[in-house]
Amino acid sequence: MRAAGTTRFRAAVMGTFATVLLLGATTACAEETPTTNPTGATAGTIKEGLKITFLPKQVNNPYFTTSDNGGKAAVEEFKGVYSETGPSDTSPSAQVSYINTLSQQGTDVIVVSANDKDAICGALNEARTAGAKVVTFDSDTKPECRDLFINQATADGIAKIQIKLISEAIGADGGEIAILSATANATNQNAWIEMMKTELAKPEYAKLKLVATVYGDDNDQKSFQEAQGLLSKYPNLKGIISPTTVGVAAAGRYLSGSAYKGKVQLTGLGTPNQMRSYVKDGTVKSFALWNPADLGYLAAYAAGALASGLISGKEGDKFKAGKLGEYTVGKDATVLLGDPFTFTSANIEQFNF
């Protein structure tokens, strides 16, 4: 459930979002004044001094640099103590030791994007027993291992846009397509892939045939090699969907330097800075993403509200997320940021992240 419709994301992208990311300015309103929302619950004030730590899938991924910086901006607004830690590889259990350390250090909230929904579950629950709150963002763990999940967009919406974009790029004749994903256990990518298969089963996509799903592990080199491998194994391939910022950038680099440039289509989820040159040189017509800075910002406000006892994570709970306004907790303790946004040559110059 979300507090506003599509217009919120659009406005954020074209307005505040562009301002914050292009100019590095912070326009957010830091004041949290006690109010009473329509359900009668008190919105209240986030406590000062909360220790809020972001634990991304990996620290050397520009997507997470942007999301976590959004979180930092929010934590500074409500006068908390922000930090970021995490692995540089995306193996299933790479985050466990970081969670254990944060728990021992008495972190108030761990804000984590899960590489593997099962592998970190036990450590997260131990941290919760020790007093920490757990907010997942971007990639969820199992619901019983966290207090809240901040979802960037619905899996259905993310799947639909990618199938639409690859279909448009390939054209009416259709043909073979493949998916180049992140890790085999990634909660977010796996949910999107399932929904993409559902979407592909629709009559309007009857001419698109998914022939393979491969995994680049959100590692640039491995993703590059997997893209290369797809083309040698499937000479008739017409398109690749890569629902990961690391994978789509690596596939773009491979295609743009190959004879397949402009012939084999590529779309997926990418950051504008990593994809700009491939849009400009004709390798990529369009791709999608959400606003990662807003995702981190929203996750931080949710973390603050949770650790202050303003919300518990039950459906219908409302909290204020600074410049983004009020959000409502939906089913399964999930908060939804908004809709994915499509980048093309017509708008990519407006973005810097």
Place of tokens 């491939």: 278
Q: What angle do CA 201, 179, 10 make, to 5 degrees?
A: 80
Number of chain positions touching ligand RAM (CB under 6 A): 14
Site for ligand RAM contains 116 (CB under 6 A): no
* Interface mask toward ligand RAM for 30-59; x: CB under 6 A: ---------------------------x--
Spatial neighbors of 202 by CB under 8 A, at least 6 apart, are: none
Distances (CA, A) of 209 to 103, 163, 259, 288: 46, 11, 22, 21
- Tell me how far apart the alpha carbons of residues 101 and 112 are, in angstroms, rounded to a whole number: 14
Q: List the structure tokens of 213.
A: 């799903």
DSSP 243-262: -SHHHHHHHHHHHHTSTTTT
Question: Given the complex with ligand RAM, which of 194 and 204 has the nearer CB atom?
Answer: 194
Site for ligand RAM contains 295 (CB under 6 A): no
Site for ligand RAM contains 351 (CB under 6 A): no
Are 143 and 333 in contact, with CB atoms under 8 Å apart? yes
Are 188 and 175 in contact, with CB atoms under 8 Å apart? no
Question: Given the complex with ligand RAM, which of 37 and 60 has the nearer CB atom?
Answer: 60
* Interface mask toward ligand RAM for 168-187; x: CB under 6 A: --------------x---x-
Question: Given the complex with ligand RAM, which of 95 and 139 has the nearer CB atom?
Answer: 139
Q: List the structure tokens of 38.
A: 């329509």
Among 53, 245, 267, 286, binds ligand RAM (CB under 6 A): 245
CB of 86 to ligand RAM, least distance (A): 12
* Interface mask toward ligand RAM for 252-291; x: CB under 6 A: -----------------x----------------------
Among 32, 140, 218, 317, binds ligand RAM (CB under 6 A): 218
Distances (CA, A) of 167 to 198, 234, 237: 15, 18, 13
Question: Given the complex with ligand RAM, which of 147 and 218 has the nearer CB atom?
Answer: 218
- Tell me how far apart the alpha carbons of residues 74 and 188 are, in angstroms, rounded to a whole number: 24
CB of 23 to ligand RAM, least distance (A): 24
Tell me which stretch binds ligand RAM (CB under 6 A): 172-180, 242-250, 304-312, 336-344.
Answer: 242-250
Which of 297, 316, 319, 298 minimizes the C-alpha distance to 308?
319
Question: Given the complex with ligand RAM, which of 141 and 308 has the nearer CB atom?
Answer: 141
Cα 9–chain centre separation? 14
Among 16, 53, 61, 267, binds ligand RAM (CB under 6 A): 61
Question: Given the complex with ligand RAM, which of 139 and 308 has the nearer CB atom?
Answer: 139
Are 338 and 112 in contact, with CB atoms under 8 Å apart? no
- Tell me how far apart the alpha carbons of residues 64 and 125 are, in angstroms, rounded to a whole number: 24
* Residues 284, 290, 291, 295, CA torsion sign: negative
Among 139, 141, 185, 286, binds ligand RAM (CB under 6 A): 139
Cα 266–chain centre separation? 19
Cα 190–chain centre separation? 13
Site for ligand RAM contains 193 (CB under 6 A): no
Residue nearest to ligand RAM (CB): 63
Among 113, 151, 265, 283, binds ligand RAM (CB under 6 A): 113
Binding residues (CB under 6 A) for ligand RAM: these are 57, 61, 63, 113, 138-139, 182, 186, 188, 218, 244-246, 269
